[in-house]
Homo-oligomer: A and B are copies of this chain.
Amino acid sequence: MSINYPTGSRRVSHVENTMRTGKTTKKALMFGKRGMGLEEEINLANDYYLVNHLAVIHKKPTPVTIVKVDYPARSAAKITEAYFKQASTTDYNGVYQGRYIDFDAKETKNKTSFPLKNLHAHQIVHLANILAQGGIGFVIIKFTSLNETYVYPAKELIAQWQKLNGKQSISYDEIVGRGYSVPESLSPSLDYLKAVDQYFEHLN
């Protein structure tokens, strides 16, 4: 593509992503890379993929219901009353190797299972809709106490959700068995597309 990329576009993208994730960023600043949240790791990986033309995957902005906006003269519009709103979809989507990719990311301190209360029924419905359209859906699950991260396919997640009626937990063994381990990496620190590649191989 011979299009001119604006200078500094990577930086802008990174700044925007970190602004979206206030809590995680603060944590990352306080503890450095070791304490980086899963969301921040995924955002950095997405920046890396974008700059290196490997994939175009973005986090969706946090949905808010805007109630009041002030328009001061000669200044930017200022939102003075707004509320956080539950997202109706997953947090991340994009395109990788011509395929539509859609996922959410969740971390748990549990060592033996992933509690389903981390997900909402409408996210499961959304992932089912994605699969029905031929898209690729999954959830990235990080067991923070074990420092292990898995790409767990939506098909398995939906089966477990139905079996457990949206309650209780999916066992660690099930996730390890049917998920794809994200290997350790330096840059990006969470190279989750490596696990997605393995998933693709299994699909083909």
Contact = CB atoms under 8 A, between A and B. Distances in A.
Interface of A: 1-6, 9, 12-13, 16, 19-20, 22, 50, 53, 55-56, 58, 60-66, 76-85, 87-89, 93-102, 121-122, 124-126, 128-135, 158, 162
Contacts of A62: 61, 64, 66
A79 B81 contact: yes
B95 A56 contact: no
Contacts of A79: 64, 79, 81-84
Q: Tell me the interface secondary structure of chain A in the complex.
A: mixed
14 contacts: A1-B131, A2-B162, A3-B125, A12-B88, A19-B66, A20-B63, A55-B133, A58-B88, A61-B62, A79-B81, A80-B81, A93-B94, A96-B133, A98-B134
A88 B82 CA distance: 22
Nearest to A137: B95
A102 B126 CA distance: 18
Given A64-B64, A95-B102, A95-B135, 17 more contacts: A3-B158, A6-B121, A9-B122, A16-B85, A19-B66, A53-B132, A53-B133, A56-B126, A56-B135, A58-B89, A61-B61, A79-B84, A82-B82, A93-B94, A94-B100, A95-B134, A96-B133
Contacts of A19: 65-66, 85
A83 B88 contact: no
A124 B132 CA distance: 30
A128 to B, nearest CB: 5
Which of A12, A22, A93 counts the most B-chain CB atoms under 10 A from its CB?
A: A93
A142 to B, nearest CB: 24
B56 A133 contact: yes
Contact of A88 (B13, B22, B129): B13
Which of A55, A82, A85 counts the most B-chain CB atoms under 10 A from its CB?
A: A82
